[in-house]
């Protein structure tokens, strides 16, 4: 896989708003189909581990900029979420994979953000659970940017909704990395 860093860390940096979401979308779009599929499966696994709630699923659709009628959004709210994220990761049309990526990043941002807040994992061995703390301590600095995480609000990307993504209904096909 062509990640600038460990894929676990990179995807979590996107979800935590430590890397610009536009960068992640452009990166994902440039991946070959097999790597996109592996990336979506990895994201689905992260989402599964975060145990998202039905409310978080609905919020992730809003934050992702997808319409509630887009295939990945419909799939997410029908049935057990843990089962649905795997099905979303298996979507094959390119335009659906792009939507799935945005949705799963948003879902991970919300569900794992809740877990990190609630659990405050002290001594956790997962590098991606310490990303924000490492940044605050001055370790591993990279250019941040708007994303789905708590730091990705309107004050950084200029959007009033703080999502850092295009408004709902924007056509993915006409985008060049945004």
Domain residue spans of the chain: 7-158
Residue 119 predicted with pLDDT over 70: no
Rounded CA gap, 13 and 19, in Å?
6
* Residue of 27 and 131 predicted with greater confidence: 27
- Going by C-alpha positions, the residue among 48, 46, 57, 38 that lies closest to residue 12 is 46
User: What is the pLDDT at residue 56?
Assistant: 96
Which pair of tokens denotes residue 160?
Answer: 């009033």
* Residue of 118 and 154 predicted with greater confidence: 118
Specify whether the CB–CB gap between 40 and 107 falls below 8 A. Answer: no
Q: What is the pLDDT of residues 49-75, one digit of tens each?
A: 999 999 999 999 999 999 999 999 999
Which pair of tokens denotes residue 51?
Answer: 């145990």
User: What is the pLDDT at residue 7?
Assistant: 82
Give the 3-state DSSP-derived string for the chain, with helices as H, strands as E and coil as C.
CCCCCCHHHHHHHHHCCCCCHHHHHHHHHHCCHHHHHHHHHHHHHHHHHHCCCHHHHHHHHHHHCCCCCCHHHHHHHCCCHHHHHHHHHCCCCHHHHHHHHHHHHHHHHHHHHHHHHHHCCCCCCCHHHCHHHHHHCCCCCCCCCCCCCCCCCHHHHCCCCCCCCCCCCCCHHHCCCC
CA atoms within 13 A on the CB side of 94: 10
- Going by C-alpha positions, the residue among 39, 53, 73, 57 that lies closest to residue 118 is 53
Residue 79 predicted with pLDDT over 90: no
Per cent of the chain over pLDDT 90 is 55
């Amino acid at each position: 896989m062509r990640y600038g860093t460990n894929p676990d860390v990179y995807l979590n940096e996107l979800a935590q708003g430590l890397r610009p979401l536009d960068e992640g979308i452009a990166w994902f779009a440039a991946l070959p189909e097999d790597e996109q599929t592996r990336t979506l499966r990895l994201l689905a696994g992260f989402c599964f581990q975060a145990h998202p709630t039905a409310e978080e699923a609905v919020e992730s659709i809003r934050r992702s900029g997808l319409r509630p009628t887009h295939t990945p959004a419909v799939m997410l709210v029908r049935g057990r979420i843990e089962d649905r994220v795997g099905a979303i990761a298996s979507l094959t049309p390119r335009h659906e994979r792009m939507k799935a990526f945005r949705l799963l990043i948003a879902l991970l941002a919300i569900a794992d953000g809740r877990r990190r807040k609630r659990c405050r994992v002290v001594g956790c061995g997962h590098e991606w659970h310490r990303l924000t703390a490492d940044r605050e301590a001055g370790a591993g600095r990279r250019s941040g940017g708007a994303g789905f995480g708590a730091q990705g609000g309107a004050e950084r990307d200029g959007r009033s909704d703080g999502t850092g993504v295009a408004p709902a209904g924007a056509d993915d096909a006409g985008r060049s990395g945004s």
